[in-house]
Amino acid sequence: MKRDDGGVVNNPLRVNIALMLERERAKRGLSHMHMAELFRTADGEKLAYRTYIQTVRQKNNVTLTTLQIMANGLQVSVAGLLAGRKKVPEWAHRLDENAIRKRLARIIDFERQRRTLHRYEMAELIGVAEATFTKLQRASGNISVDTIAAIAKALKLGPVTFLFSEKIPPTADLAVFDKVEK
């Protein structure tokens, strides 16, 4: 994805994430420094302040792993960060970064089969190398929001709409999650 003269990429997911972070910061009455302190990895390490600021300024190609850290710190869902003010189905709020990777893999495979494309043709269509496409299909690797937006654009779909569409049912993992939670 290309940057404008100010270094900002035209990616609606970046916009949604930045808006959500700013909204949460204002709601909590925190400075940027204190907001960034909320974001810690499972090992207790802080997310870099620079990562947070660049994300708020929409200059950072944030990954699903980083979004999960932010969502955990704010006690919101990854889907909520990605969607911003857009409404998503309730089940989408229970998806973690791994479930979103799996969902993206299912969507890509669904679209590839629907369009009767070979794997290399689908990789070409969505603008990634075949090795990257293989990682996407296997739901592995740390996928960035720019990659998600680029896939959506190539498929002529809205990034939030296609990720959380009811056309493709929630992943099987969610059914297991629901049983454990009840």
In the chain, list all ranges with CATH 1.10.260.40. Answer: 12-89, 94-165
Handedness of CA 70, 76, 79, 84 (dihedral sign): negative
- Confirm if 54 and 61 have CB atoms less than 8 A apart: no
> For the whole model, what pTM was predicted?
0.84
The CATH number assigned to the domain with range 12-89 reads: 1.10.260.40
**pLDDT, mean of each 10-residue run, the chain (182 residues):** 59 94 96 93 84 93 94 95 91 94 92 92 91 92 91 89 77 44 38
**Predicted pLDDT at 7:** 54
CATH superfamily of 94-165: lambda repressor-like DNA-binding domains (1.10.260.40)
